Amino acid sequence: MSKSEKTSGPQQTVPAKLEAAIGGEVRRQRKRQDMTMAMLADAAGLSQGMLSKIETGQTSPSLATLASLAEALAAPISSFFSAGERSRDVSYVPAGDGIRIDRRGTRAGHLYQLLGHSVRGDVAVEPYLITLDEAAETYDEFSHDGMEFIHMLAGKVVYRHGDKQFTLSPGDSLLFDARSPHGPSDLLELPAVYLSVITAGKGD
């Protein structure tokens, strides 16, 4: 078999950024296994020129070519796409730029700032910075699907979950099933600031 692609079928149309991500992952895995370009090209039945174009993101490799590379590297074909997936699944919020949100059940004096959101996958993730000011009202009847994690940053509150009460000071954390009634039942030191991360299956 000549040192060219094993298949003469049509090349897959792939966005340029994904081509670069795939090529970079092929190169990373090759170097991790101490393989030269010539060694990998030979094992996969490709020309060195074709492999070079793949690694530098200059061409869109066919699925058959990716399968050959995966076999030569003893890696799952899905691993070539992992870098591209990671680069897309990111949400960046600069300091002070959290989006102000009025969540269902929000009470006066409760400021919710959304710090990011999940981009892909089956799990929804909502991180909030919550501030309770001097006008805040106690409310311990919040209830929603999923799990919630709280980490206290400033102030002090008594936080209810179900039939239990927890006094939270800076540095304290709480992880709980959010379907049970929960929320601040007593505001001891204001302003109180805490991080709340809510997770739930997107089908919930």
Show me where the domains of the chain are located. 16-88, 99-201
The sign one gets for the Cα dihedral 92, 97, 102, 103 is: positive
Mean predicted confidence (pLDDT) in 100-109: 55
**pLDDT at 16 (0 to 100):** 58
Burial of 80 (0-12, 13-18, 19+ CB in 10 A): buried
Best CATH choice for the domain 99-201 from the list 2.115.10.20, 1.10.287.70, 2.60.120.10, 1.10.40.30: 2.60.120.10
The closest of 89, 79, 91, 88 to 24, measured between CA atoms, is 79
91 or 124, which is more confident? 124
Best CATH choice for the domain 16-88 from the list 1.10.260.40, 3.40.50.300, 1.20.1630.10, 3.30.565.10: 1.10.260.40
**pLDDT at 75 (0 to 100):** 80
- pLDDT higher than 90, residue 123: no
Mean predicted confidence (pLDDT) in 144-161: 96
If pLDDT is split at 50, 70 and 90, which confidence band does 45 have? Answer: very high
**pLDDT at 172 (0 to 100):** 97
Average pLDDT along the chain = 81
If pLDDT is split at 50, 70 and 90, which confidence band does 118 have? Answer: low
